[in-house]
Amino acid sequence: MDDPLRLIDVDYVQFYVGNARQAAFFYAHMFGFEIEQVSDLTTGVRDSATYLLTLGNIRFLLTSGLTKEHPASREVAIYGDGIKDIAFTVDDAMVAFETAVKRGAEIAYEPVETRDERGTVVRAGVKTFGRVVHSFVSRSDQYSREQRSRKEINFCPISPSLRICQSIDSIATRTTRRGCFTWTIVWEMLNLAR
């Protein structure tokens, strides 16, 4: 089967939530996620709070707006907590983005390149149905999955016995009778650690 976008893996799933700190605490204590990094007022970010949670190969970004004008605040006020971005690791984000657009995808955001002493990260996004975006992410060999302007934290150590999920197998969506989309990451659909 030919994959014109050359998708490698789910890079991260970003949620827009009303309270990122509370949501991070919930995912850590209920499912065993590690709260690895935070970007908020304490790191100099004035308009949003984002927590990076990891578990095996799963990465969740939980984002709350700290101002009424922030896109996360507006979306949560209308629709409640939900998935905003399902990002895919690819060999070349620019090529994946251009291929998707050539095949009819609508642009969510143009390619953005971030460089520092660790290497380069390129991200680009296309719209999917509803309000969700698919981002394409490629990194140079030296660049880890961490993002700049986040600080490492460990305020909630978790028992290793909770860490039963290692990767996202699939993400399901459904349409309600009113035509609204709802996204669900079904935990039974995750590959369980053996």
Q: Which segment of 23-32, 87-96, 142-151 scores lowest on mean pLDDT?
A: 142-151
Domain map of the chain by residue range? 7-162
Model pTM?
0.78
Is residue 72 predicted with pLDDT exceeding 90? yes
Q: Report pLDDT for 129.
A: 78
The arrangement of secondary structure in 7-162, i.e. its CATH architecture, is Roll (3.10)
Where is pLDDT greater, at 21 or 161? 21
Where is pLDDT greater, at 114 or 154? 114
Q: Report pLDDT for 155.
A: 45
Q: Report pLDDT for 119.
A: 82
HEC-encoded secondary structure of the chain: CCCCCCEEEEEEEEEECCCHHHHHHHHHHHHCCEEEEEECHHHCCCCEEEEEEEECCEEEEEEEECCCCCHHHHHHHHHCCEEEEEEEEECCHHHHHHHHHHCCCCEEEEEEEEEECCEEEEEEEEECCCCCEEEEEEECCCCCCCCCCCEECCCCCCCHHHCCEEECCCCEEEECCCCCEEEECCHHHCEECC
